[in-house]
Amino acid sequence: MDLEKIKETTDFIKNLLGDFTPEIGIILGTGLGSLVNDIEVEHTVSYADIPNFPVSTVEFHSGKLFFGKLSGKKVMCMQGRFHYYEGYTMQQVVFPVRVMKLLGIQTLLVSNAAGGLNPDYQLSDLMVINDHISFLMPGNPLIGKNLDELGDRFPDMCDPYDMDLVKKALAIADQQGIKVQAGVYISVPGPQLETRAEYRLLRMLGADAVGMSTVPEIITARQMGMKCFGISVITDMGIPEALEKVDINKILKAAYAAEPKMTQLIRELIRDL
Ligand code: HPA
């Protein structure tokens, strides 16, 4: 990836923001975009108007950046992310995360829609991600010439998800009576959902939920030393013996049902940061 392009985009956004300096980055997943309604918005910009930014092709993602205050903290929020299955390179998928770092953002919060692999989970459950499995994705944003200015060639992945944030989120959920799971997310390229045999394999590999995003962004953010937090909404169940047909409308319906509690949890977590 070209550092000059990342700097150019960062400068464009800095220009737009004036003296507003975001401290927390947020990436909202499929069907989970309404957290932006809680932001006291100071600036917005469409991806299409940002130099070097990929443009979102999934029509239910609006493709916009929001800057403003959420729970008293200055945030930069992406409504709509870039997925590998849309045809972007891994470098394009993580481009906004690189820009976040150059803007001075130290903490990244990410949400996504995911299929449940753990038989104890239920539709519309929340799962705080406590670890991930990356290597079923056919590529990786760190492959290629390393940008040494931004991070290590061989970044450590002991704690991809910040354990203090995980603990805080679980404590908040407990206090507020929000049901929440904690588990391992495994990323796949998509866009097709899994076969029964694939869901069985993913469970055997040790994952609790499967999805088509998040891991590239987290790997990149960790390489640059950002603190990360991820949360999945279980939008369909990948239990081989009880597999039901799913389509995007069912996934969106389950995401919308879980959105208020997810939004509440993220708002409270940000207040606590
Ligand atoms: N598999 C992969 N990605 C997903 C799923 C799934 O079952 N549900 C939502 N995103």
Ligand 1 pocket, residue 235 CB under 6 Å: yes
Structure tokens that stand for 56 in this block: 């979102």
Cα 111 to ligand 1 centroid, rounded to whole Å: 13
Mutating to test ligand 1, I would choose from 195, 201, 212 the residue with most ligand atoms within 8 A of its C-beta, which is: 212
Tell me the residue type at 77.
Answer: C
pLDDT band at 54 (very low <50, low <70, confident <90, very high): confident
CA distance 97 to 99: 5
pLDDT at 59: 52
What tokens appear for 139 in the block? 């590529």
Which carries the bigger pLDDT value, residue 252 or residue 197? 197
What is the mean predicted confidence (pLDDT) over 45-62?
76
State which H helix or E strand residue 91 sits in: helix 90-102
Residues in the chain: 273
pLDDT band at 1 (very low <50, low <70, confident <90, very high): low
3 state DSSP class of 117: coil
CA of 212 to the centre of ligand 1 (A): 7
For residue 60, is pLDDT > 70? Answer: no
pLDDT at residue 90 is higher than 90? yes
Find, among 266, 259, 232, 226, the residue nearest to 96 by Cα: 226
Query: What is the per-residue pLDDT across 4-51, written as a single tens digit (0 to 9) for each?
Result: 999 999 999 999 999 999 999 999 987 778 899 999 999 999 998 999
Distance 93 CA to ligand 1 centre (A): 18
Q: Ligand 1 centre from 113 Cα, in Å?
A: 7
Judged by DSSP in three states, 30 sits in coil
The answer to whether 260 touches 231, Cβ cutoff 8 Å, is no
Q: What is the CATH number of domain 3-272?
A: 3.40.50.1580
106 vs 124: CA distance, rounded Å:
29
100-146 pLDDT, tens per residue? 999 999 999 999 999 999 999 999 999 999 999 999 999 899 999 99
Q: Is 86 in the pocket of ligand 1 (CB under 6 A)?
A: no
Q: How far apart are CA 42 and CA 217, in angstroms?
A: 25
d(CA 218, CA 90) in angstroms, rounded, equals 12
